Structure 1
Amino acid sequence: MALITCPTCSSEDIDGTPQPDSRLLIHCNACGHEWLRGEARRDPARPAVQTAESLQATFPSPADVRPDVRERVMLLTSEFLMERPEPDPSVEAYRVRYAELFTRDGLRTATPDQLLYFANSTTVADPGNMSGFNRAWKTAGPDKAAAMVRDSIEYLLYGPESLKLEDRMTHLVDGSKKGLGFPSFKESLLTKVLCVVEPERFLPVVRYTAAASGKKELAKVVFELDLPPVEKSAWTIGRLAVWSNDLLRSLIGNDVPDLQQAARFLQWAKGQPVLSRS
């Protein structure tokens, strides 16, 4: 230990205590300063802790798309754009109206009728079968239901800054936080809110996995990428919903800048013949 000196007082009067992970805990007898020396040895029997960052780093990226698939998608994009599909003129006015309503101040004034209409309309994004939502709304009563829907939207958009958007979404979808929001305001409607508030980021594809029209299925059929299944602890629904959206948005790029049209392109492209690999 004589070759090691204390970084605080430069004393050579130090002791070392071996640690379970193979490092040494160095103690300076002169000033009391302690520090660890060496590299930690990971116990192979104990799996590494998976953080959101480490998970996201292993999530498929545009670089994982094979060159032949990328070329096929480019050709399909050109074919799709040749038809010059016209955007729905009602979408922008609807989006602007509800984007204003979903501001912090706007939410306080959102009426039950406005929120019920948002949930049931197919403008911007089709949330699918709303029978369960409508039953829950009727059971709770419009005033109470509207208050809980406001809470859901507020938590999603403005909830604790210490939580990422994807984790706030998970809390609302899986009901892990009891008493939070409206229980029937789930993934499809939460995604629709994001499509309204961030129209340049969020595709109007409202489910992560759904028959042949979820983001997971579209990534597989159009780009031949395998996305993870939903899990409770790691690959949560919020993380997968947001990360898959960002992946598809990146893959489409600026060739189809209007995300309403981009979603239509993905649905159209999934039905086109797949290239032969022979």
Structure 2
Amino acid sequence: MALINCPTCSSEDINGTPQPDSRLLIHCNDCGHEWLRGEARRDPARPAVRTSDSLHASFPTAADVRPDVRERVMLLTSEFLMDRPEPDPDVEAYRSRYAALFTQDGLRSATPEQLLHFANSTTVADPANMSGFNRAWKTAGPDKAATQVRATIDYLLFGPESLALEDRFTHLVEGSKKGLGFPSFKESLLTKVLCVVEPERFLPVVKYTAAAGGKKELAKLVFDLDLPPVEKGAYTIGRLAVWSNDLLRSLVGNDIPDLQQAARFLQWAKARPAMSRT
């Protein structure tokens, strides 16, 4: 592999994984870029290589929701909005403050106190149990911990342009790149960062799957859609976290454009009796 250079960063630090069609999937360990090398062997008995695009194309869409389910959700939406739930008055100021902090320039000046507060606050999105994060923070010390958290957020938001957001997300959750990320700054907190910087896209539902109602469970209970389980190398946690968010956003966000309220609606609607199939 030493004779092959990454076309994105020219690094020689690469490795290759044989594919079922006899090609090699080349991975650059420096920038994360991947590409296929070699001629594909035509063998109908072997499954085709599943790319991110092909996986995304097969992911459920809003068009897969049955008409009777759509009608039920419309009725539930009307019922929910009749109560005119009041928005959390602290959300907007909190989001504005941290959105400014989570720019490339702002991150450099983010203090340990600000980052620790972000991780433990339930405003915008509740990351749930932060005991592991707080232990890691205490062990590292505030200065070193803050440096690592800044690097984590920087990689998520501004990492290599050759990598999609969902793949950077996966790298941080899985720790697949040595030395990358801060312990316990994983799926919940990464999602919370995205809710702050892209509030019109990301719902404050911080887990893909969770007993209390992750995105996978909400898709099933509210829209009767079966989303795939996490699968390393294919349906990765980053892809599923982002794609399921965008699916739920498209299904509910037009009727409830405030995504804080949209997330409340989904959690409320999941407990309502489902319509039986006809």
TM-score of the aligned structures, taking structure 1 as reference length: 0.85
Match in the other structure for 1:230: 230
- Runs of 4+ displaced beyond 6 Å: none
> What letter matches 2:181 in structure 1?
G
**Is 2:163 the partner of 1:163?**
yes
| Gap runs ≥5 in structure 2 | 1-20, 22-39
What is the rounded CA distance, in whole Å, between the counterparts of 1:276 and 1:185 in structure 2? Answer: 40
Match in the other structure for 1:218: 218
What is the rounded CA distance, in whole Å, between the counterparts of 1:225 and 1:47 in structure 2? Answer: 25
Length, aligned pairs only = 240
**Is 2:156 the partner of 1:178?**
no
| Gap runs ≥5 in structure 1 | 1-20, 22-39
Tell me how far 1:44 sits from its aligned partner: 1.6
> What letter matches 2:127 in structure 1?
P
Tell me how far 1:41 sits from its aligned partner: 8.4
Match in the other structure for 1:18: none
Task: Evaluate the alpha carbon distance shift between residue 135 and residue 41 of structure 1 in structure 2; reply closer, same or farther with a 3 A threshold.
Answer: closer
- The structure number with the bigger radius of gyration is 1
Match in the other structure for 2:69: 69
Q: What is the identity percentage for the equivalent residue pairs of Structure 1 and Structure 2?
A: 84
What is the rounded CA distance, in whole Å, between the counterparts of 1:141 and 1:42 in structure 2? Answer: 55
What is the rounded CA distance, in whole Å, between the counterparts of 1:168 and 1:276 in structure 2? Answer: 40
Please give the secondary structure, in 2, of the residue aligned with 1:169.
helix
1:250-265 maps to which residues of 2 (within 5 A)?
250-265=250-265
What is the rounded CA distance, in whole Å, between the counterparts of 2:143 and 2:212 in structure 1? Answer: 37
> What letter matches 2:146 in structure 1?
A
Q: What RMSD, in angstroms, separates the aligned Cα atoms of the two structures?
A: 1.3
Tell me how far 1:270 sits from its aligned partner: 0.4
What is the rounded CA distance, in whole Å, between the counterparts of 2:191 and 2:174 in structure 1? Answer: 14
Match in the other structure for 2:85: 85
**Is 2:109 the partner of 1:109?**
yes
CA deviations on 1:123-178 (whole Å, 9 max, x unpaired) are 00000000000000000100000000000000000000000000000000011011
What is the rounded CA distance, in whole Å, between the counterparts of 1:253 and 1:159 in structure 2? Answer: 28
Tell me how far 1:234 sits from its aligned partner: 0.1
CA deviations on 1:250-272 (whole Å, 9 max, x unpaired) are 00131101000000000000011
Tell me how far 1:45 sits from its aligned partner: 2.5
Please give the secondary structure, in 1, of the residue aligned with 2:277.
coil
